């Protein structure tokens, strides 16, 4: 059996054949290239390169490498992916456009600022491994840049002694949406005291730019044991972003956080023995087709936390999510208005499901098994989910489940902004299977019953991160 990363992803149902294209690194290798044995030689070649040039750095360890890429349309990569190591105070500045930079490792170095800063557009940063690198930040996509992609990178073990700063940051522009993508990356094993330390694995914007439109997509990424470094796995502090098809596993101290900004959404994500979602100074948030199992059962993060701040938590929508054996779902108490929970499934054999009820929530078509913890209300119906479960697989409905064709209309459809396809993600379930055309035929929860359902699994450290590992 071929256990390559892509075949593992395909066999698990995580990706489809459309993802099985040659990587730009592999394509670059097939074209003409020039090899260099020093950073000085490489830099000189970058400065005079022309569109289409492929510049390779020979295997080895390079200390205090300072690389500036101001040329457009070139590829800079390791001759052998993973065999070029940067340490010391190595750092990279990308000013050009349509550049590919990849195949390198940043190991155990120390740089006081941002290791990689990207000011240009349409660049691809691929197959990088950051491990034990003592720096304030690892990668920043700067304001004014557009359509950059960070993919198949690993970010791990940022030292406690490093200056506070997010691992990957997107700085939105006041006028230009970024349309960046962060995909198939892994974030693992960041030490620390826990709490909000400013060391978020991903930060989109900050409080000062929360009204700016970013339109960044974070997809198919993986988090494990990062909550000690910072309690926010992703901190969203700007507008019109999407987090989709990511996995948060064995990470009870971390959460996906909608901290500031409006018109953001999260769908198709899996929270397995990990913190869930927290929403604070944000409005118009849509969370749908997400799966929570043993989420918020220990550690600092809950399964769901609505944290009310004046004039926020307006139009918060949870639609077609599944919660299995989860910790607290905190509804925010007095203050939230026009919130909607529609067609969600809650299964909790012991304890109560909800706490801190508010008067601004509408309940539609939800099914629960377990004690509510809040006053009974229409739209929260007791049922018999009758779920099936296999090792390392999701709890999913059986043919006799009370979730079958039990959804109701009345919820709000999220707006999909230009450049953020597909046009109707709510019509897909957790596994990206198309739901029936009629909402009344949708199953309650994140998973639509299928008689011959394929095996699906959440992402892992092996299915994300550098492809040479």
- pLDDT score of 22: 43
Beta bridge partners of 17: none
Residue 184's Cβ-side half-sphere holds a number of Cα atoms within 13 Å equal to 21
Question: In this predicted structure, what is the pLDDT of residue 419?
Answer: 84
What's residue 9's pLDDT? 52
What pLDDT score was predicted for residue 31? Answer: 53
Q: Calculate mean pLDDT across residues 224-241.
A: 97
CA 132 – CA 159 distance, rounded (Å): 6
- Give yes or no for a contact between 252 and 296, defined as CB atoms under 8 angstroms apart: yes
CA distance 444 to 83: 49
**288-320 burial by CB neighbour count: b if 16+ within 10 A, else e?**
bbbbbbbbbbebbbbbbbbbbeeebbbbbbbbb
Closest of 326, 340, 237, 246 to residue 286, by C-alpha: 340
Confidence class for position 367, pLDDT limits 50, 70, 90: very high
Q: What is the mean pLDDT of residues 200-212?
A: 96
| CA 33 to centroid of chain Cα atoms | 34
Residue-wise pLDDT for 256-291, tens only, equals: 999 999 999 999 999 999 999 999 999 999 999 999
Is residue 125 pLDDT above 80, yes or no? Answer: yes
For the chain, the helix, strand and coil percentages under 3-state DSSP, each to the nearest 5: 10, 40, 55
| pLDDT for 430 | 97
Residue carrying the six token digits 């690993």: 154
Average of per-residue pLDDT values in the chain: 92
What pLDDT score does 24 carry?
47
Q: Which two tokens stand for residue 82?
A: 């993973």
Dist CA 100 CA 124 (whole Å): 5
Instruction: List, for residues 450-466, the tens digit of each pLDDT value.
Output: 987 777 889 999 999 99
If pLDDT is split at 50, 70 and 90, which confidence band does 21 have?
very low
Look at residue 26 and give its three-state secondary structure: helix
What span, in angstroms and rounded, lies between the C-alpha atoms of 416 and 386? 34
- Which pLDDT score, from 0 to 100, does residue 451 have? 85
pLDDT surpassing 50 at residue 27: no
Distances in Å between the Cα of 215 and the Cα atoms of 34, 147, 267, 283, 401 are 37, 10, 15, 16, 38
The pLDDT value given to residue 332:
93
The residue that leads in pLDDT, 5 or 378, is: 378
Q: What is the pLDDT of residues 63-121, one digit of tens each?
A: 999 999 999 999 999 999 999 999 999 999 999 999 999 999 999 999 999 999 999 99
- Predicted pLDDT at 84: 98
Residue 25 binned pLDDT confidence (cut-offs 50, 70, 90): very low
pLDDT in tens, 127-150: 999 999 999 999 999 999 999 999
Q: Which tokens belong to 292?
A: 């929570």
Residue-level pLDDT at 339: 94
Query: pLDDT tens, 148-178?
Result: 999 999 999 999 999 999 999 999 999 999 9
140's tokens = 């920043």
SS3 state at 427: helix
Q: Is the pLDDT of residue 424 over 70?
A: yes
SS3 assignment, position 283: strand
Cis-peptide into 422, omega within 30 deg:
yes
Phi-psi region at 326: left, alpha or beta (left = phi > 0; alpha = psi -120 to 50): beta
In this predicted model, what pLDDT tens digit does every residue of 28-75 receive, in sequence order? 444 579 999 999 999 999 999 999 999 999 999 999 999 999 999 999
pLDDT in tens, 321-366: 999 999 999 999 988 889 999 999 999 999 999 999 988 999 999 9
DSSP class per residue in 406-447 = ---S-PPPPP--TT---S-GGGB-TT-PBPPSSGGGSPSSS-
DSSP state of 399: T
Task: Give the largest CA-CA distance in the chain.
Answer: 71
Mean pLDDT, residues 199-216 taken together: 96
Q: Which two tokens stand for residue 412?
A: 């709000």
Question: Whole-structure pTM over 0.85, yes or no?
Answer: yes
What is the per-residue pLDDT for 10?
A: 52
Q: What percent of the chain has pLDDT over 70?
A: 93
Residue-wise pLDDT for 383-417, tens only, equals 999 999 988 899 999 999 999 999 999 999 998 88
DSSP assignment string, 185-243 = -EEE---SS-S--S--SEEEE-GGGTTSB---EEES-EEES-TTT-SEEEEEESBS-EE
Give pLDDT tens digits for 181-191. 999 999 999 99
Q: pLDDT band at residue 421, thresholds of 50, 70 and 90? A: confident
């Amino acid at each position: 059996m071929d256990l390559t990363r892509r075949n593992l992803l395909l066999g698990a149902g995580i990706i489809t054949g459309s993802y099985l294209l040659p990587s730009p690194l592999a394509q670059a290798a097939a074209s003409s290239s020039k090899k260099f044995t020093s950073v000085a030689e490489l830099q000189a070649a970058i400065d005079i390169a022309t569109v289409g040039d492929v510049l390779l750095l020979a295997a080895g360890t390079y200390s205090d490498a300072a690389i500036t890429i101001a040329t457009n349309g070139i590829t800079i990569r390791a001759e052998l992916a993973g065999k070029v190591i940067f340490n010391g105070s190595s750092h990279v500045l990308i000013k050009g456009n349509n550049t590919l930079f990849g195949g390198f490792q940043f190991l155990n170095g120390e740089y006081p600022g941002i290791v990689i800063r990207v000011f240009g557009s349409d660049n691809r940063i691929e197959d990088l491994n950051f491990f034990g690198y003592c720096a304030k930040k690892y990668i920043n996509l700067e304001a004014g840049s557009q359509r950059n992609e960070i993919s198949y990178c690993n970010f791990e073990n940022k030292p406690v002694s490093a200056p506070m700063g997010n691992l990957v940051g997107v700085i939105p522009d006041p006028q230009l949406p970024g349309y960046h993508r962060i995909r198939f990356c892994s974030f693992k094993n960041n030490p620390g005291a826990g709490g909000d330390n400013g060391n978020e694995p991903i930060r989109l914007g900050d409080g000062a730019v929360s009204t700016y439109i970013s339109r960044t997509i974070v997809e198919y990424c993986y988090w494990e044991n990062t909550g000690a470094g910072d309690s926010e796995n992703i901190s969203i502090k700007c507008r019109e972003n999407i987090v989709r098809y990511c996995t948060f596993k064995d990470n009870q101290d971390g959460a996906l956080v909608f901290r500031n900004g409006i018109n953001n959404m999260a769908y198709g994500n899996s929270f397995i023995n990990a913190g869930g979602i927290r929403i604070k100074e944000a409005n118009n948030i849509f969370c749908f087709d997400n799966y929570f199992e043993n989420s918020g059962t220990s550690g600092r993060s809950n399964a769901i936390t609505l944290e009310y701040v004046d004039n926020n938590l307006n139009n918060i929508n949870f639609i077609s999510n599944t919660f299995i054996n989860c910790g607290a779902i905190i509804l925010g108490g007095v203050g939230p208005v026009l919130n909607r929970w529609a067609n969600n499934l809650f299964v909790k054999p012991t304890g109560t499901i909800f706490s801190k009820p508010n008067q601004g929530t509408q309940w539609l078509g939800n099914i629960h098994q377990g004690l509510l913890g809040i006053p009974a209300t229409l739209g929260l119906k007791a049922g018999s989910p009758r779920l099936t479960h296999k090792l390392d697989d999701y709890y999913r409905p059986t043919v006799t489940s009370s979730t079958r064709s039990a959804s109701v209309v009345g919820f709000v459809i999220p707006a999909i902004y230009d450049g953020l396809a597909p046009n109707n993600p709510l019509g897909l379930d957790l596994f990206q299977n198309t739901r029936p055309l009629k909402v009344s035929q949708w199953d309650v929860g994140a998973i639509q019953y299928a008689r011959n359902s394929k095996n699906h699994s959440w992402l892992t450290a092996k299915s994300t991160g550098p492809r040479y590992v």
